[in-house]
Chain A
Amino acid sequence: MVTDTIAGPTGTAPARTASRRSRTPTESFTGRRTGPWMTAPFMVLYLLFLIGPLIYGIVMSFFNSSIVHSGLGRFAGVSNYREALTDSAFWQSMWHTVLFTIFTTPPLVILAFVLALLTERIRHGRWFYRFAFFAPYVVPSAAVVLIWLWIYTPAVGLATKWLSAFGITAPNWLGSADWGMISVSLLTIWWTIGFNFILYLAALQEIPREIYDAASVDGASGFATMWRITLPLVGRTTALVIALQIIASLKVFDQIYLLLSGGPNLSTRPALEYVYDVGFTDYRAGYAAAASMIYFLAILLASIVWLIFSRVRVKEEAA
């Protein structure tokens, strides 16, 4: 695409290349004066509301700042970091975040793929399935939780009733530490699967029919076709879906906060809610900033590991 810029088909392009070589770029060819101006609105907002807060947050994490006072407060050295790193409640909340990711990512990827595969085989009314699976994704978290709170209500909730119709005693969905995370995971799978589903559906539709036809001529079974042909061809989508899914799951807050407030007995509180609790409920802004930075580093590390891993795989595939 960059070559596209340099070697345009019209007569102006060679002149541009020449001017670049002679190191005398002019405004009309390079936009060296207009360019910065056009990025300025974005860059100002970007620096003010992303980079600036990041730097301020890093600074704040070394102070005993309070959310109810302006200013940084007393210098605290690394004591905030020391406290966060040794606080079992913090590590538990980090673990809950990881656990939520482990609970939700595999079903959200595999089930989305299977549903897309099945939907793709259907001839009529594909819009209906797209609607059924994707519609929950546009519902605001608060509305989703209001609905599911009632589904999970003991004794009279839908989940309880239906299970008992099959003779199964429903678990204490929201009240027991063992089930809290499972309940919120089920809700999340229902709520967000549509996103992965349509990514897969689009990828499957990109696969040329001829490939399948050739495979069936060769006598490959349906399962072998899927394993040998479909899966590798949607490999890129799978990588994207997994990456987006893991990153989104690591940032979980809304549904756990709204459904369980991190309970019962803090058994589902995710890292982001820990930051919220210590920062806004306990007023400890400096400490919460330090906890956010550790949490941020963990996400960053996960992204980097993923990046290296997927690079290696891409190279292997290329080779």
Chain B
Amino acid sequence: MSAVTLDRAQPAGGVSSRRVGASSRTRFFNALCGTVVVLFALIWLVPLAWALVTSLRPEGEITTNPTSWWTSHWTLSGYRQVIDSSDLLVWYMNSFITSAVSAALSVLTCSMAGFALARTRFKGRRFMLGLLLAGLVIPPQVLIIPMFQEFTALHLTNTYWSLILPTAPNVVAVFVFMTFFRGIPTSLGDAARVDGAGWFRLYRTVYMPLSRPAISAVAILTFVWTWNNFLWPLLVLSSTKTMTIPVGLASVASGYGAHYAEVMASAVLGALPLFAVFVLFQRQIIEGVTSTGLKG
């Protein structure tokens, strides 16, 4: 395992050593691979780049020449229009608060449950594990009808809670924490227990500080997932003041009609925050995805 890590740390060296005796055919093959992947990457960037360019062009120019990539009159008027005419800034705040609280609540409840299931033994633990396994196969999407009735009865529609509460019971996150905690040698905890620390302190002072990778994976992925969640917020958020970015964009921004600069500006603005999150936490997100396989 360590050999792999070592090798991964110096991939360039590995490749070049392989290339020392490479024939011209292999070199040609490598160049071909490079060209193909560059081509694909460019194709993949086209929609985003096009949206960005269009959002910065004046509306009149787009009507006369819709697919041009250039303008001599770059303008932010599309953005100004969107921010002035919609509640976009409020949607940002709503998305941010619900995603952040969901992430925090998920980490807290799932790590505690994961810790108890990994490290303590109590009556009903096996039953609980079985119940969680069953929950693993229930897609929350099939529960929208009873959930809507439940939240209506609780008078929780149009509140942040309607988005936060259903994201917390994330069974996969519990198993992620459970596996991670099991990987931490008990000897570390035992030392603390000799000092008379209770279970809760053990969890707080020994296990959680050692679980940064698991915490950041669950937190960031829950954040991204809550931010992008669409169907459930569409059902429970009806006031434009409580909408999140995806619901607001879908229900209100579609009314911009043929004002392409505005539509693209709203798309860019909708994508921007998570882009920032992605650029800042790229490593954690990718590690989180690869180590946990968490998917929305």
Interfacial residues, chain A to chain B (CB-CB below 8 A): 1-2, 4-5, 8-10, 12-13, 25, 28, 30-39, 41-43, 45-46, 48-54, 56-57, 60, 65, 67, 70, 115, 118-119, 121-123, 127-136, 138-148, 150-151, 156-158, 161, 190, 195, 198-199, 202-203, 205-210, 212-213, 216, 222, 240, 244, 247-248, 251, 253-254, 258, 272, 275-276, 279-280, 285, 288-289, 292-293, 295-296, 299-300, 303
CA distance A146 to B282 in the complex (A): 25
Choose from B36, B41, B115, B146 the contact partner of A128 (Cβ within 8 Å): B41
CA distance A118 to B41 in the complex (A): 11
Task: List, sorted by A's number, 21 A–B pairs whose CB atoms are closer than 8 Å.
Answer: A25-B121, A30-B120, A31-B119, A34-B198, A45-B168, A53-B147, A53-B150, A54-B138, A121-B34, A127-B282, A130-B282, A136-B47, A140-B228, A140-B270, A144-B267, A146-B267, A161-B66, A205-B8, A208-B3, A208-B7, A292-B143
A219 CB, nearest partner CB in chain B, Å: 11
Assuming the contacts A10-B190, A253-B231, asked whether A136 and B143 have C-beta atoms less than 8 A apart, the reply is no
Choose from B171, B182, B235 the contact partner of A280 (Cβ within 8 Å): B235
CB-defined contacts of B282 to chain A, threshold 8 Å: 127, 130-131
CA distance A288 to B142 in the complex (A): 10
CA distance A205 to B290 in the complex (A): 12
CB-defined contacts of B210 to chain A, threshold 8 Å: none
**A49 — nearest CB in chain B belongs to which residue?**
B166
Among B126-146, those with CB < 8 Å from A are 128, 131-132, 135, 137-146
Choose from A158, A203, A209 the contact partner of B14 (Cβ within 8 Å): A209
Interface size on B, residues (CB 8 A): 118
CA distance A73 to B158 in the complex (A): 25
CA distance A57 to B149 in the complex (A): 10
CB-defined contacts of A57 to chain B, threshold 8 Å: 142-143, 145-146
Q: Is the CB of B121 within 8 A of A142?
A: no
Q: Is the CB of B174 within 8 A of A42?
A: yes
Q: Is the CB of A195 within 8 A of B295?
A: yes
CB-defined contacts of A38 to chain B, threshold 8 Å: 112-113, 115-116, 120, 199-200, 203
Residue B191 at the chain A interface, CB threshold 8 Å:
yes
CB-defined contacts of B143 to chain A, threshold 8 Å: 50, 53-54, 57, 292
CB-defined contacts of A280 to chain B, threshold 8 Å: 148, 235
Q: Is the CB of B295 within 8 A of A130?
A: no
Q: Is the CB of A289 within 8 A of B139?
A: no
CA distance A95 to B51 in the complex (A): 33
Among B1-32, those with CB < 8 Å from A are 3-4, 7-8, 11-12, 14-18, 26, 29-30
Choose from B36, B108, B270, B289 the contact partner of A143 (Cβ within 8 Å): B270
A150 CB, nearest partner CB in chain B, Å: 6
CB-defined contacts of B120 to chain A, threshold 8 Å: 30-32, 34-35, 38
Q: Is the CB of A70 within 8 A of B149?
A: yes
Residue B44 at the chain A interface, CB threshold 8 Å:
yes
Residue B70 at the chain A interface, CB threshold 8 Å:
no
Assuming the contacts A146-B253, A276-B231, asked whether A52 and B150 have C-beta atoms less than 8 A apart, the reply is yes
Assuming the contacts A50-B169, A141-B230, asked whether A156 and B141 have C-beta atoms less than 8 A apart, the reply is no
CB-defined contacts of A147 to chain B, threshold 8 Å: 47-48, 50-51, 264, 267
CA distance A200 to B31 in the complex (A): 21
Q: Is the CB of A272 within 8 A of B231?
A: yes
> Which of B71-79, B211-219, B241-249 lies at the binding interface?
B241-249
Q: Is the CB of B144 within 8 A of A275?
A: yes
Q: Is the CB of A148 within 8 A of B47?
A: yes
Among B87-141, those with CB < 8 Å from A are 108-110, 112-113, 115-117, 119-125, 128, 131-132, 135, 137-141
CB-defined contacts of B110 to chain A, threshold 8 Å: 42
Residue B152 at the chain A interface, CB threshold 8 Å:
yes
Assuming the contacts A33-B122, A67-B145, A279-B145, asked whether A206 and B231 have C-beta atoms less than 8 A apart, the reply is no
Choose from B36, B112, B263 the contact partner of A146 (Cβ within 8 Å): B263
Q: Is the CB of B116 within 8 A of A34?
A: yes
Q: Is the CB of A31 within 8 A of B199?
A: yes
CB-defined contacts of A53 to chain B, threshold 8 Å: 143, 146-147, 150
CA distance A37 to B128 in the complex (A): 13
CA distance A150 to B261 in the complex (A): 11
CA distance A122 to B19 in the complex (A): 12
CB-defined contacts of A122 to chain B, threshold 8 Å: 33-34, 37
B169 CB, nearest partner CB in chain A, Å: 4
Assuming the contacts A30-B121, A222-B29, asked whether A158 and B67 have C-beta atoms less than 8 A apart, the reply is yes
Q: Is the CB of B198 within 8 A of A67?
A: no
Choose from B18, B34, B37, B148 the contact partner of A213 (Cβ within 8 Å): B18
Q: Is the CB of A4 within 8 A of B246?
A: no
Q: Is the CB of B18 within 8 A of A212?
A: yes
Assuming the contacts A46-B169, A141-B230, A209-B7, asked whether A296 and B199 have C-beta atoms less than 8 A apart, the reply is no
Residue B209 at the chain A interface, CB threshold 8 Å:
no
Question: Besides the contacts A143-B271, A148-B47, what 10 more A-B pairs have beta carbons closer than 8 Å?
Answer: A5-B186, A13-B190, A31-B199, A38-B113, A38-B120, A45-B168, A50-B169, A118-B37, A195-B289, A253-B230
Q: Is the CB of A115 within 8 A of B142?
A: no
A15 CB, nearest partner CB in chain B, Å: 11
B286 CB, nearest partner CB in chain A, Å: 5
CA distance A69 to B14 in the complex (A): 67
Residue B185 at the chain A interface, CB threshold 8 Å:
yes
